[in-house]
């Protein structure tokens, strides 16, 4: 992860303006996207409280247990936190974002989302979205951003408030939507929340290539039911309070949904991210392609990122480059069982993204087994095996810091959601 940023996550899918909802990966993910889908529970209908009608509600509990066969020393890894991009105490699994604790059951996230979708003719076109959370995940995000950017760029309240925005649909054409506030990033093929992804662990590109969150506003306009465009204007990668410079970061985006089986999203971020410098720009191009049912019950995601920052290395003498791509395949064996495989490659020529110059590869195999619990609640369990490979020594083993090029982990995630 580049030194002056950290990611979201990024939502998998984006709800476009008034009625255009980015389609989910068929039956794949349990809870999709940043913005709610039409199927999300209505709080008024669910609780029987009439004044809560039109407010969407969903929530979940996420936990995990993972074993790292390298069994690195927690003391040794912690003593070298200055060399690690992801900052977290008691780290014993490297190359990861949130499942970082070896042989210890952890609560990674407890989250509640509330949203009133801005709609013409309701509430004067106004709406809001509030995501509150607790657990390891927001602590790691907070510590990582502070470690990369320094004090004052995020607020202590960011540990509990993941997303807080207000929205309005202006009666312009098909409806011009404006959202402003703290937003999880729209970049990337995975989100902060594990329940919205296909795997227990987050991938290499999520961990190192993109930001977590941003603060500012977005404009969204659906030109038709097949294409929409967006523009994000944000303070910078991951900042929510004071930025490290006075510049702004801009993010034009387009979603193309030509039919039910193929959707494509292209995003671009550009802006200054270096301290007290608005001349050197960071560029990031991100894409996702969703291919639904090329054969029955199979769903595919292809994704990639290309990053470049001007004069970011050697006291401004060199530019930084990083790029990567990956794919996810998920197959519906039954209504309850859906195995998924993710493969990724990350090229970090300069060590700017990961802290170690070289190439990284990862293969993840996950079983998704879900069942209904009643009263609108469901349970998901995810046993997972993952293999990580680096061209250079990246992973610790025992008390030897960064002594290995490979890492094997086995684990299981458990989720309760509604």
pLDDT of residue 88: 84
How many residues are recorded in the chain?
Answer: 418
Residue 4 reports pLDDT greater than 80: no
Backbone angles phi, psi at 186, to 5 degrees: -90, 0
pLDDT of residue 80: 81
Q: What residue ranges do the domains of the chain occupy?
A: 43-417
- Over the stretch 320-372, which tens digit does the pLDDT of each residue have? 999 999 999 999 999 999 999 999 999 999 999 999 999 999 999 999 999 99
Could you write out the three-class secondary structure of 102-168?
ECCCEEEEEEEEEEECCECCEHHHEEEEEEEEECHHHHHHHHHHHHHHCCCCCCHHHHCEEEEEEEE
d(CA 122, CA 57): 18
Of 386 and 12, which is predicted with more confidence? 386
Q: Report how far apart, in Å, the C-alpha atoms of 265 and of each of 22, 25, 26, 180, 369 are.
A: 10, 13, 16, 21, 28
d(CA 190, CA 181): 21
Q: Report how far apart, in Å, the C-alpha atoms of 135 and of each of 90, 98, 316, 345 are.
A: 15, 10, 38, 29
Residue 8 reports pLDDT greater than 60: no
Residue 87 reports pLDDT greater than 90: no
- Over the stretch 248-291, which tens digit does the pLDDT of each residue have? 999 999 999 999 999 999 999 999 999 999 999 999 999 999 99
Q: What angle do CA 53, 55, 59 make, to 5 degrees?
A: 125
- Over the stretch 91-134, which tens digit does the pLDDT of each residue have? 889 999 999 999 999 999 999 999 999 999 899 999 999 999 99
The whole model's pTM is what?
Answer: 0.90
CATH of domain 43-417: 2.40.160.10
pLDDT-based confidence at residue 2 (cuts at 50, 70, 90) = very low
pLDDT of residue 39: 80
Residue 377 reports pLDDT greater than 90: yes
Q: Report the candidate in 282, 348, 278 with the shortest Cα–Cα distance to residue 312.
A: 282
Backbone angles phi, psi at 81, to 5 degrees: -60, -30
pLDDT of residue 6: 31
Residue 3 reports pLDDT greater than 70: no
Kindly tell me the sign of the dihedral angle through the C-alpha atoms of 349, 350, 354, 358: positive
């Amino acid at each position: 992860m580049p030194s002056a940023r950290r990611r979201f996550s990024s939502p998998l899918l984006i709800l476009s303006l008034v009625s255009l909802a980015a389609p989910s990966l068929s039956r794949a993910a349990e809870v999709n996207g940043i913005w709610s889908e039409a199927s999300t529970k209505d709080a008024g209908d669910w609780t029987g409280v009439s004044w809560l009608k039109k407010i969407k509600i969903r929530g979940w509990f996420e936990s995990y247990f993972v074993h790292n066969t390298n069994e690195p020393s927690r003391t040794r890894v912690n003593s070298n936190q200055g060399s690690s991009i992801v900052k977290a105490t008691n780290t014993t699994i490297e190359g990861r974002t949130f499942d970082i604790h070896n042989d210890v059951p952890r609560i990674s996230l407890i989250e509640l989302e509330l949203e009133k979708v801005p709609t013409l003719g309701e509430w004067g076109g106004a709406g809001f979205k509030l995501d509150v959370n607790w657990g390891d995940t927001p602590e790691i995000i907070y510590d990582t951003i502070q470690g990369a950017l320094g004090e004052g760029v995020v607020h202590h309240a960011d540990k509990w408030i993941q997303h807080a925005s207000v929205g309005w649909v202006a009666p312009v054409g098909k409806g011009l939507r404006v959202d402003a506030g703290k937003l999880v990033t729209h970049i990337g093929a995975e989100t902060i929340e594990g329940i919205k992804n296909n795997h227990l662990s987050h991938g290499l590109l999520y961990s190192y290539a993109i930001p977590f969150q941003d603060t500012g506003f977005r404009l969204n306009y659906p030109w038709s039911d097949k294409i929409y465009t967006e523009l994000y204007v944000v303070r910078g990668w991951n900042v929510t309070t004071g930025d490290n410079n006075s510049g702004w970061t801009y993010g034009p985006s387009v979603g193309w949904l030509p039919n039910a089986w193929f959707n494509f999203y292209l995003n671009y971020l550009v802006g200054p991210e270096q301290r007290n410098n608005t001349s050197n720009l960071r560029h990031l191009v991100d894409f996702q392609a969703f291919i639904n049912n090329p054969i029955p019950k199979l769903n595919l995601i292809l994704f990639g990122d290309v990053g470049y920052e001007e004069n970011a290395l050697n006291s401004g003498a060199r530019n930084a480059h990083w790029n990567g791509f990956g794919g996810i395949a998920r197959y519906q064996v039954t209504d309850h069982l859906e195995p998924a495989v993710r493969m990724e490659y990350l090229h970090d020529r300069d060590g700017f993204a990961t802290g170690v110059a070289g190439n990284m590869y990862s293969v993840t195999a996950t079983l998704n087994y879900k069942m209904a619990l009643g009263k609108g609640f469901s349970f998901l369990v995810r046993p997972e095996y993952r293999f990580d490979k680096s061209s250079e020594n990246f992973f610790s083993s025992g008390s030897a810091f960064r002594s290995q090029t490979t890492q094997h982990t086995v684990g299981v995630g458990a989720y309760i959601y509604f």
